[in-house]
Structures are given as structure tokens and as C-alpha cells.
Amino acid sequence: MTNAPTALVTGATAGLGCAVARALADQGMHVLVHGRDADRAAAVVDQIRKSGGSAQPYLADLSSLAETRALADRISVDHEAIHLLVNNAGVGAGRPPFRRRKLSADGHELRFAVNYLAPVLLARTLAPVLAKDGPARIVNVGSVGQAPVDFDDLRMDAHYTGMQAYFRSKFALAAFTFDFAEELAGTGITVNCLHPASLMNTHMVREALVPPMSSVASGVKAVLNLATGPDGADHTGRYFDGTHQARAHEGTYHPATRARLRDLTAEILSPFMS
């Protein structure tokens, strides 16, 4: 296909993901544009190609663990190696009053499924392809909004709000980042998590009826700092607020919390990891 380094960007058909995909193509990467809608994915690929870049579309609904695994398998077959995974796709808090709960195709709370389980499954399944051709990076797009996971009520059957579900999924993603970085030590793969910018002007923010505070461009700058900049090469297992190292929720660093989350996640994902 191409000799350029290859990057997979999930949720690349709109908002931050689309802007990141275009920026990576501008830097000479071959971009795998993930989305759920064929027309929208094709439009982003067309934009990149018209600007002189290289890209191709990949479709999958990340609320389905089977489709997520199938996406990873297709990429592993199509590409001998990839060099960057940007786990950007996500479901926001929804519309006020944030009370409408949805479950994924597998019966998990939707935000936990898309914002956490899918990135974990992609990262673990694609790790061999990431490690195949020299240094590689995983960038997990998180949030400064984080709240501890209730292990006794993962589906949030009690006291549900979309905002709290979103915060819990981003807590879990940060904790996974730190765990996976330790697991991949010595492989040449760095794994970092970031809050790209506060309340960017995206559909996710507008849907919550919150006035945007930041531009998408500021979020792109932060993602690129870890995706192609020196911080993403020099550091692993870190959390960034924008382009600066920061502390995630203190609970994400607790060994017992991370161990319980790791074991629970492994149990959920085991049917899709063989």
C-alpha cells in the first residue's frame, strides 16, 4: 500500500478525530480512517487524498466487541505493521439531564463499552502489529473528568447519569494506560493518555448544551505532542493535560484498583481475545 508509517485513528469522521487524521496525513503518515458510516469515512479519505495525503477507510461499530475485534483482525491482515494507534472514538455524556441510559450490543453500559472496552481490545489485539516495525505509540484520548468505577454496578443500574458514566469510562481508560505501559515495557511501544483540551467545539460538547471553551486545533496540538512529538517517544504510562504532564485521578494509580479493573476487563474480553 505505502512505505509511509501507518496510523489508525478511531472516530476519525468528525471532530477531533477527523482533524487529527488530516494532521497526521499532512505529516506523511498513511492514515487508517475509522468510522461507523461508509460515506463519512470515504469523505474524510477523499479530503486527505485531495490534499496529497494517503488514507483508507475502515468501518466498525465500537459498541460491539465482535466488530471491534474484527476491525483489529482486518488491519492486522492488511498491514504488516502499524506505528500509531489513536484511541479517539468516544460517546459523550449525552443531552441534559443525562438520564438516558443505553447498553451496548454485548449488554455493557454504552460509554464503558465504547470509551474503555473497545480501546483496550484494540490495543491488546494490535500490540503484535505495533511492535513489529520499530518504535510505535498508543495514544488514548481521555478526559480531565474522571470518577472511580463502581465494580459492583458496572452497568450503572442504580443512580445512572451519562456524565457520571462518561467520567467512569475515562477513569478506567487512564488506569489501563498505566497498566498497559508497564506490561509493554521493553517492546518499543509507548502508551500515554491525555485530556486534549477543555470543552472543544465538537458535537460531543454541543450535544451536552455546554458552551465550547477551546478550539479543536488546540486538541490536535495536544494529541500530536504524544502521537508524533518527542513527549510520546520519551514517556510512557503518563497522563497529559494538553501538552503538559499532569496527574490523573489519584484512584487510577492505586494498585488494588488497577488489579481489580484488569481482572474484570480480562474476563469480559476473554471471548474476543483468542
What average pLDDT does this structure show over 91-113?
88
Three cell numbers written together for 145: 473528568
d(CA 124, CA 82): 13
Task: Report CA 11 to chain centroid distance, whole Å.
Answer: 8
Q: Is the pLDDT of residue 160 over 70?
A: yes
> What does the pLDDT read at residue 137?
98
| % the chain with pLDDT above 70 | 94
In a domain, 1, yes or no: no
Residue 253 a catalytic site member: no
> What angle is formed at CA 273 by the lines to CA 9 and CA 181, rounded to 5 degrees?
60
Amino acid at 258: R
| CATH code, domain with 169 | 3.40.50.720
pLDDT band at 97 (very low <50, low <70, confident <90, very high): low
CB atoms within 10 A of CB 272: 18
What average pLDDT does this structure show over 57-65?
98
d(CA 31, CA 265): 29
> What does the pLDDT read at residue 212?
66
CB atoms within 10 A of CB 146: 24
CB atoms within 10 A of CB 58: 19
Q: Which residues contact 180 (CB under 8 A, 6 or more apart)?
A: 120, 123, 124, 138, 191
pLDDT band at 203 (very low <50, low <70, confident <90, very high): low
Helix ranges, the chain (H): 15-26, 38-50, 65-78, 110-112, 118-130, 162-183, 203-207, 216-227, 230-234, 255-269
Q: Is the pLDDT of residue 9 over 50?
A: yes
Residues 10-47 have pLDDT tens digits of 999 999 999 999 999 999 999 999 999 999 999 999 99
CB atoms within 10 A of CB 56: 18
> What does the pLDDT read at residue 1?
46
Which residue is catalytic, options 58, 116, 166, 239? 166
How many structural domains compose the chain?
Answer: 1
Residues 168-189 have pLDDT tens digits of 999 999 999 999 999 999 999 9
Nearest C-alpha neighbor of 6 from the set 33, 34, 35, 29: 29
Looking at every residue in the chain, the average pLDDT score rounds to 94
Give the domain range for residue 62.
Answer: 6-272
What average pLDDT does this structure show over 113-123?
98
Residues 258-272 have pLDDT tens digits of 999 999 999 999 999
Least confident of 119-133, 212-226, 234-248: 212-226
For the CA atoms of 151, 157, 159, 161, what is the dihedral angle to 10 degrees?
Answer: 90
Q: Which residues contact 234 (CB under 8 A, 6 or more apart)?
A: none
